[in-house]
Amino acid sequence: MPSDCQCSNACDCQTIVKTKVLNNKEATRKIARLEEEVALLKYENDRLKRASKRRLPKKELVNKLKKMLDEI
C-alpha cells in the first residue's frame, strides 16, 4: 500500500484482514450495521441514490483517456 499514512503490505499488522472481513462474525455484524447506515444515507439523499445506480460509460472514458495520453 503506498502511503503517507498506512503501513505497507510488508508488515504483519493486527487488524481486520480480508479473510476476517469475509468470515469473522464480529466483522459481519459491523458490516451489516455499515450497510444499514449506507442504505439510510441513500434513502435520505436522492443525489446519492442516483449516483449509486449510475453506470459510467466505459467506452467513452477509455476514448477520453486515450485522447489525453496521445497528446504530447
Partner 1 sequence: MDFISPWIHTTEKCNLKCHYCYVKGNAIMTKEVYNALGKLLVESPKSNKHLRFAGGEPLLVFDAWEWFARDMLKHKGVTIEVLTNLRAPTPHFWRFAGLENVNVSVSVDNGKTVKVLDHLLSERLRMLRNPWLMTTVTNENINSLDVLAAFVGMNNHGWAITTDYFEKTTPDWETLAEAMLGVVSVLKEFNYDFTKVSFNNFSAKSGFSGCRAGNEMFSVGCDGTIYKCQTLIGNGKGIGSVFKGYKRTECPIKPECKVCSIYGLCKGWCQLYYKTPNPICNVIKLFASEVIKEVRATHAHPSTKSKEMRHAE
**What is the binding site for partner 1 (CB under 8 A)?**
1-19, 21-22, 27, 30-31, 33-35, 37-38, 41-42, 45, 47-48, 51-52, 54-56, 58, 61-62, 64-65, 68-72
| Minimal distance, residue 25 CB to partner 1, in Å | 13
CB 1 within 8 Å of CB 9: yes
| Minimal distance, residue 23 CB to partner 1, in Å | 9
CA-wise closest residue to 43 among 54, 35, 32: 35
Phi, psi of 16 (to 5 degrees): -75, 100
